[in-house]
A and B are shown apart, each in its own frame.
Chain A
Amino acid sequence: MSFGALLARRPLVGRDAELAALRTLHAPGGPLVAVVHGVAGTGKSALLRAFANEHDCVTAVDGRAIEPTPQGFMAAAGEDPRLLIIDTFERLRLLDDWLRHTYFPSLPDHTRIVIATREKPGAVWRATFGEYLHVIGLGPLAPADAHAVLEQHGLDAQQAAEVNCFVRGHPLSLQLAASARREHPDAVIPIVTQELAALYLDGLDAPTRAALDHACVLRRVTRSLLPDGYDLLEALPFVELTPEGLVIHDAVREAVSALLRASDPVRHRTVRATAWRRIRAEMPHGGWASVADMIALVEEPLVREAFFPTAVQHYAVEAARPSDRDAILAIVARHQPGAVTALIADWWDAVPDAFRVARNPRGIVVAFSVLTDLKRVPQGLFMRDPLCQAWREHLRAHPVPKGQRVLAARLALAHGTGSAPSPCFSALLRDVERASLQTGLVRRIYSAQGGDATDAQLEPLGYLPIAGGATVCDLGPESVPGWLSALAARDLPVHATSLDADARELTLEGRTIALTKLECDVLRYLRDREGQVVPRGVLLRDVWGYEWDGGANAVDVAVCGLRRKLEDRAKALETVRGVGFRLSSL
């Protein structure tokens, strides 16, 4: 039986006051939005389920199970929900701005919203909703209620008291303790209380325990990502079935992963490498879900924290409003007075929607960033801004294939620290990373050098300094999926595909393949246009040159040689009959 099913069947104990608080949503003049917050495993989902059970018409959205985009949310929630319940809201941080400013205000006045999240909503939420927001903190269960839960699961009063001395009313731990007690009826309770996790986890049979280790580095478990373990995990009491696959309760997943990393780091890396290979294989057709799976494997804090934040977020990052202009320009004037301030004023006039701001809990702008598609920068501004000239020089020397996008991250500054690292500046950088990853087919991001400390922070992500005080991050021919895969693979025993044009060597799954100059040129040309059909004539013109008169057969000879060397990956280089060739991910 799944955790969700267990919880649904279990009577809700000790949450009468919280349920009563939720019911005020229906009182005349009551709140429109209720936010239930508490640490992992504290019973937020159970409370929401109990409240939902009191209603006939409920729209439930699980933050773990939907694509965190406005389209993904709309598909799950619709335009006219009566009671909208959003669980695991912390996974929808990307949508915070859109939900507060666009979606929620668009709902009819009879809609009520209940949100469960780990963090207490900040002042920005209070400023947005005022008296229409009701915040409900969920702490541990009172001792009498915790004892009642344990006694429902067969523990006597004394055993319940001993167990609760250890778990201190934490609902998930109570559930685990009760499950451990059921699985090991002869266990001595003091041992249960002292080694609750060990008793439960070590009590699992070896294949299930191994499957759990593999699952705990994954964001979600599908049959394709964990073919040998899916069925074994499905029955565990802390595993829930969602539309995206099995999801292990965060508290357990984090604990098991940390235990494996500390006790057997080599196996932890091996498990992550296995996950990497399986996610990588799914990426070409996996869409956002596969990208999110790969992000969960990335250990680089700036990327990981952008999507799966672990710390309390004090700063709300959102699109700048027209009234933010003066505050933004005051920040620029403080750190880069004169010409740069005037230029940023021009950027504001030209592309105001490129500006994002970080607000402190009072709503005051404390930092901002400018990120847009390079094509949207008007020609006049492009010519005036020296940084744009530096980008243009680089772009001329290293052109981007047609169809791939180039982003311009012009400037990010915080009031107190400029471009030096700080919590609000990091919140902005994470926002820039998020926005870049969400933008389709991004090939390159141009930015400005931001001082040693910031450059050091961005260097692991692939940002390199170029002439004119600029920086560039080239995501490679595979765009975001390829870049993320390389980041995730950095400390893993996996070999990413790489082509060294100077040495004419292709590295594939750890195998080095020597190429002729022509094979190397053809492969590089096709990789730059990965997934696109390249007409035979275009390939001939651009690789062999206009003066070539040796016949079109030369292309077939080179492609044939490449396929032979690619061996079992030869299918990646396909012939599109009557047109040309297409290379898919190697």
Chain B
Amino acid sequence: MNLYLVSRRRAWQSEEELAASSDCAPSVLATFGGDIRWVRSYVFVEEDGSFSADCVYEATSIERLEAYADAMMLPADEIRRVHVSAEASDAAREGAPGRVPDEARERAARVVRP
């Protein structure tokens, strides 16, 4: 399984549509036999009131993600495979300069290879 970021631009016209989509997603994912795992989505409101999202998935291939988008009747404007992800440590989240011990600062950014 690789990590992917899928961009869906102006995919939903209303909050109800967004809610219906989220409601349906687990059932549709279940038909993909474990080839796709939905990790998280970040939803944005566009100026025209529609909604876009950047969605993170674990998947076996881009083709499976395209098939999933088709099943969900959602656009997949861009599908990018994640190379590495960097996560802030607790210390980095909280720490102002000088407050964070050197050792913690060294661990501030944890690089995760998917």
- A residues sitting closer than 8 Å to B (CB atoms) are 120, 122-123, 312, 314-315, 360-362, 364, 366, 415-418, 420-425
B31 touches A420 (CB 8 A): yes
Residues of B near A315 (CB, < 8 A) are: 20
B73 touches A422 (CB 8 A): no
Least CB distance, A234 to chain B, in whole angstroms: 40
Q: Would you call B28 an interface residue if the criterion is a C-beta within 8 Å of the partner chain's C-beta atoms?
A: yes
Chain B residue with Cβ nearest A312: B19
B24 touches A423 (CB 8 A): yes
Main secondary structure of the interface of A (DSSP, over half): loop
By Cβ-Cβ distance, the 6 closest A-B pairs, closest first, are A422-B27, A314-B20, A361-B16, A416-B71, A416-B28, A361-B17
Chain B residue with Cβ nearest A421: B27
Least CB distance, A420 to chain B, in whole angstroms: 6
Least CB distance, A315 to chain B, in whole angstroms: 7
Q: Would you call B30 an interface residue if the criterion is a C-beta within 8 Å of the partner chain's C-beta atoms?
A: yes
Least CB distance, B113 to chain A, in whole angstroms: 32
A360–B73 Cα distance when bound, in Å, is 10
Chain B residue with Cβ nearest A426: B27
Known: A312-B19, A364-B73, A416-B73. A423 touches B27 (CB 8 A): yes
Q: Would you call B72 an interface residue if the criterion is a C-beta within 8 Å of the partner chain's C-beta atoms?
A: yes
Q: Would you call B48 an interface residue if the criterion is a C-beta within 8 Å of the partner chain's C-beta atoms?
A: no
The tally of residues in B whose CB lies under 8 Å from a CB in A reads 15
Of B13, B14, B17, B72, the residue contacting A416 (CB under 8 A) is: B72
Chain B residue with Cβ nearest A366: B73
Residues of B near A122 (CB, < 8 A) are: 16
Total contacts A to B, CB within 8 angstroms?
55
Least CB distance, B16 to chain A, in whole angstroms: 4
Residues of B near A417 (CB, < 8 A) are: 27-28, 30-31, 71
Chain B residue with Cβ nearest A422: B27
- Complex interface bits, B13-51 against A, C-beta within 8 A gives 1, otherwise 0: 110110110011001101100000000000000000000
Of A120, A360, A362, A415, the residue contacting B71 (CB under 8 A) is: A415
Least CB distance, A336 to chain B, in whole angstroms: 14
A422 touches B16 (CB 8 A): no
Of A362, A421, A423, the residue contacting B14 (CB under 8 A) is: A362
Residues of A near B73 (CB, < 8 A) are: 360, 364, 366, 415-416
Residues of B near A312 (CB, < 8 A) are: 19
B14 touches A361 (CB 8 A): yes
Residues of A near B31 (CB, < 8 A) are: 416-418, 420
Other A-B pairs, 12, CB within 8 Å; known A361-B14, A416-B73, A424-B20: A361-B13, A361-B16, A362-B17, A415-B71, A415-B73, A416-B28, A416-B72, A417-B27, A417-B71, A418-B31, A421-B27, A422-B27
Identify which of B20, B23, B31 gathers the most chain A CB atoms within 10 Å of its CB: B20
- B residues sitting closer than 8 Å to A (CB atoms) are 13-14, 16-17, 19-20, 23-24, 27-28, 30-31, 71-73
Least CB distance, A458 to chain B, in whole angstroms: 16
Residues of A near B14 (CB, < 8 A) are: 123, 361-362
B20 touches A416 (CB 8 A): no
Residues of B near A415 (CB, < 8 A) are: 71, 73
Least CB distance, B58 to chain A, in whole angstroms: 19
A421–B27 Cα distance when bound, in Å, is 7
Residues of A near B27 (CB, < 8 A) are: 416-417, 420-423, 425
Residues of B near A366 (CB, < 8 A) are: 73
Identify which of A416, A417, A420, A423 gathers the most chain B CB atoms within 10 Å of its CB: A416
Chain A residue with Cβ nearest B68: A416
A417–B23 Cα distance when bound, in Å, is 13
A123–B12 Cα distance when bound, in Å, is 12
A-B contacts, 14 listed (Cβ < 8 Å): A312-B19, A314-B16, A314-B23, A315-B20, A360-B73, A361-B13, A366-B73, A416-B27, A417-B28, A420-B27, A420-B30, A422-B27, A423-B20, A424-B24
Residues of B near A422 (CB, < 8 A) are: 24, 27-28
B17 touches A423 (CB 8 A): no
Residues of B near A421 (CB, < 8 A) are: 27
A362 touches B13 (CB 8 A): yes
A423 touches B23 (CB 8 A): yes
A315–B14 Cα distance when bound, in Å, is 14
Residues of A near B13 (CB, < 8 A) are: 123, 361-362
Chain A residue with Cβ nearest B18: A361
Residues of A near B30 (CB, < 8 A) are: 417, 420
A136–B75 Cα distance when bound, in Å, is 32
B28 touches A314 (CB 8 A): no
